[in-house]
Structure 1
Amino acid sequence: MLTSAKILIVGGASLDTLTINSINYTSPGGAGLYTALAAVKCGADVTLLAPLPNPMPEELTQAAALVNWIGPTITPAELPVFHIIQEQGKTIYTKTFFGAEESLKTDVLPSNLSEFDLVHVAPLGDTTRQCHFINACRDRNAKIISAGTGMPLIKNNLEKISAVIQSVDLFFMNEEEAHLIFPDTKHIKTSTGKVLFVTKGPKGTSVYIGDHEIDIESVDTNGLDPTGAGDTFCGATITGTACGEHPLKAALAASALAAEMISGIGPENLLKKSKSPEIHADERVQVNQDQVRRTAKLISGLKKEKPYNFIASSLPNIDHPLTVNYFFATTLQQFSFWTTRNEFYHLPLIETIGGEKLKGAFYLFMAYQQKLENDPEYFSPERQANQTLDEMVELFRADDGKDVMPAVELHLAAAHRYGKTMLNLGWTPQSIIKTALETDHPLKSFLGMLDHVGGYREDPLRKKSALLAMILNNRPEKYFEFGENEFLPPIIDYHCMRSNLRMGLIDVVDNNLRNNLENRALVSENDEWAVRYAAYRAVDQLPILSGRSMATVDEYFFFSRKRCPEMTVPECSVCSADPVCAHRKELFQPVIRTDFY
Structure 2
Amino acid sequence: MLSDEELDAVQWVHIAAIHTPEIQMKFVRDIRRRSDARLSAGTYGFMARRSPDKVRALMESVDVFFLNEFEFNMVFEDERPPVRPGQVLIVTRGAQGADVWQGDHCTRVPICPAQPVDLTGAGDSVCGGTLAGLSRGLHPTEAVALGAAVASKTIEDAGMRGLLATQRPDIEARHRATRRDGRVHISERQRDKIGEMIATMADAQPFSFVGPHFPEIGDPAAIDFFFASILHQFGFWSASEGQYVKPTWAQWKGQALKGSDYCFAAFRRLVDRDPASLSPRSQATWRWQDTVELFADDSGEVPMPVLATHHTLSRGYGRDLWELGREPKELVQAAQRAVDPGAYLLTVLDHISGYREDPLRKKSMLLILALGQRPERFIDLRRCKTLTPVVDYHIMRSCLRTGLVEVSDQSLRRRLIDRQLLEPADEEMVRRACYDAMEALMEVSGRDIGTIDYFFFGARKRCPEMTTPDCLSCPVEPICQKDLQMFQPVIRTTFY
Shared topology, TM-score over 0.5? yes
How far does residue 305 in structure 1 lie from its aligned partner after superposition?
4.9
Alignment partner, residue 261 of structure 1: 154
Q: Deviations over 1:382-431 (max 9, x none)?
A: 22122222321222122123221111111111101101111111111012
Asked if 1:278 is matched to 2:175, the reply is yes
1:251 is aligned, of 144, 147, 150, to 144
Asked if 1:311 is matched to 2:210, the reply is yes
2:26 and 2:351 map into 1 onto residues whose CA distance is 26
SS of residue matched to 1:138:
helix
How far does residue 125 in structure 1 lie from its aligned partner after superposition?
3.0
1:382 and 1:345 map into 2 onto residues whose CA distance is 37
1:234 and 1:308 map into 2 onto residues whose CA distance is 40
Alignment partner, residue 37 of structure 1: none
Asked if 1:381 is matched to 2:280, the reply is yes
Asked if 1:192 is matched to 2:89, the reply is no
2:64 is aligned, of 145, 157, 170, to 170
Are 2:204 and 2:455, in contact at CA under 8 Å, matched by a contact in 1?
A: no
How far does residue 560 in structure 1 lie from its aligned partner after superposition?
1.3
SS of residue matched to 1:113:
helix
Alignment partner, residue 236 of structure 2: 337
How far does residue 260 in structure 1 lie from its aligned partner after superposition?
2.7
Asked if 1:144 is matched to 2:41, the reply is no
1:557 and 1:305 map into 2 onto residues whose CA distance is 10
SS of residue matched to 2:429:
helix
Change (3 A) 1:261 1:290: farther
Are 1:175 and 1:198, in contact at CA under 8 Å, matched by a contact in 2?
A: yes
1:415 and 1:123 map into 2 onto residues whose CA distance is 38
Are 1:501 and 1:584, in contact at CA under 8 Å, matched by a contact in 2?
A: yes
2:87 and 2:273 map into 1 onto residues whose CA distance is 37
How far does residue 573 in structure 1 lie from its aligned partner after superposition?
3.1
Equivalent runs, 1:431-580 vs 2, <5 Å = 431-482=330-381, 484=383, 486-580=385-479
Unaligned 5+ segments in structure 2 are none
Alignment partner, residue 63 of structure 1: none
1:168 and 1:133 map into 2 onto residues whose CA distance is 11
1:383 and 1:142 map into 2 onto residues whose CA distance is 30
2:208 and 2:146 map into 1 onto residues whose CA distance is 35
Are 1:443 and 1:483, in contact at CA under 8 Å, matched by a contact in 2?
A: no
SS of residue matched to 1:336:
coil
2:83 and 2:182 map into 1 onto residues whose CA distance is 35
Are 1:487 and 1:550, in contact at CA under 8 Å, matched by a contact in 2?
A: no
2:319 and 2:476 map into 1 onto residues whose CA distance is 43
Q: Deviations over 1:473-508 (max 9, x none)?
A: 011111112363613111110001111111222221
Change (3 A) 1:304 1:231: farther
1:407 is aligned, of 278, 298, 306, to 306
Supply the AA of the counterpart residue of 1:426: G
SS of residue matched to 1:370:
helix
Instruction: State the aligned residue count.
Output: 490
Are 2:416 and 2:487, in contact at CA under 8 Å, matched by a contact in 1?
A: yes
Asked if 1:427 is matched to 2:320, the reply is no
Are 1:309 and 1:471, in contact at CA under 8 Å, matched by a contact in 2?
A: yes
Q: Deviations over 1:551-594 (max 9, x none)?
A: 11111111111121111122323311123322211110111111
2:138 and 2:441 map into 1 onto residues whose CA distance is 19
Q: Deviations over 1:147-195 (max 9, x none)?
A: 111112223332221122111111111111100111115x234111100
How far does residue 211 in structure 1 lie from its aligned partner after superposition?
0.9
SS of residue matched to 2:66:
strand
Change (3 A) 1:541 1:114: farther
Structure (1 or 2) with the greater strand fraction: 1
SS of residue matched to 1:278:
helix
Asked if 1:201 is matched to 2:98, the reply is no
Are 1:189 and 1:212, in contact at CA under 8 Å, matched by a contact in 2?
A: no
Are 1:116 and 1:142, in contact at CA under 8 Å, matched by a contact in 2?
A: no
User: Root-mean-square deviation (CA), in Å?
Assistant: 1.7
SS of residue matched to 2:67:
strand
1:385 and 1:282 map into 2 onto residues whose CA distance is 40
1:487 and 1:222 map into 2 onto residues whose CA distance is 34
Supply the AA of the counterpart residue of 1:352: Q
Alignment partner, residue 8 of structure 1: none
Alignment partner, residue 158 of structure 1: 52
Are 1:196 and 1:207, in contact at CA under 8 Å, matched by a contact in 2?
A: yes
Alignment partner, residue 131 of structure 2: 238
Unaligned 5+ segments in structure 1 are 1-105
Change (3 A) 1:177 1:483: farther
Change (3 A) 1:593 1:183: same
Alignment partner, residue 223 of structure 1: 116
Alignment partner, residue 594 of structure 1: 493
1:139 and 1:476 map into 2 onto residues whose CA distance is 40
Q: Deviations over 1:304-339 (max 9, x none)?
A: 554211111111011111111111110000001111
Alignment partner, residue 80 of structure 1: none
Change (3 A) 1:376 1:544: same
Are 2:49 and 2:75, in contact at CA under 8 Å, matched by a contact in 1?
A: no
Change (3 A) 1:119 1:190: same
Alignment partner, residue 368 of structure 1: 267
Are 1:450 and 1:465, in contact at CA under 8 Å, matched by a contact in 2?
A: yes
Are 1:442 and 1:483, in contact at CA under 8 Å, matched by a contact in 2?
A: no
SS of residue matched to 1:455:
coil
How far does residue 356 in structure 1 lie from its aligned partner after superposition?
2.2
2:175 and 2:109 map into 1 onto residues whose CA distance is 15
1:542 and 1:265 map into 2 onto residues whose CA distance is 42
Q: Deviations over 1:247-288 (max 9, x none)?
A: 011112222222232111112222124321233113322233
Larger Rg over CA atoms: 1
SS of residue matched to 2:175:
coil
Change (3 A) 1:362 1:377: same
Alignment partner, residue 246 of structure 2: 347
Are 1:439 and 1:445, in contact at CA under 8 Å, matched by a contact in 2?
A: yes
Supply the AA of the counterpart residue of 2:361: R
How far does residue 470 in structure 1 lie from its aligned partner after superposition?
0.4
1:266 and 1:557 map into 2 onto residues whose CA distance is 49
Alignment TM-score, normalising by the size of structure 2: 0.95
Change (3 A) 1:580 1:269: farther
Equivalent runs, 1:10-21 vs 2, <5 Å = none
Structure with more contact order per residue of length (Cα contacts < 8 Å, sep ≥ 6): 2
Supply the AA of the counterpart residue of 2:29: N
Supply the AA of the counterpart residue of 2:300: G
Supply the AA of the counterpart residue of 1:371: L
SS of residue matched to 1:579:
helix
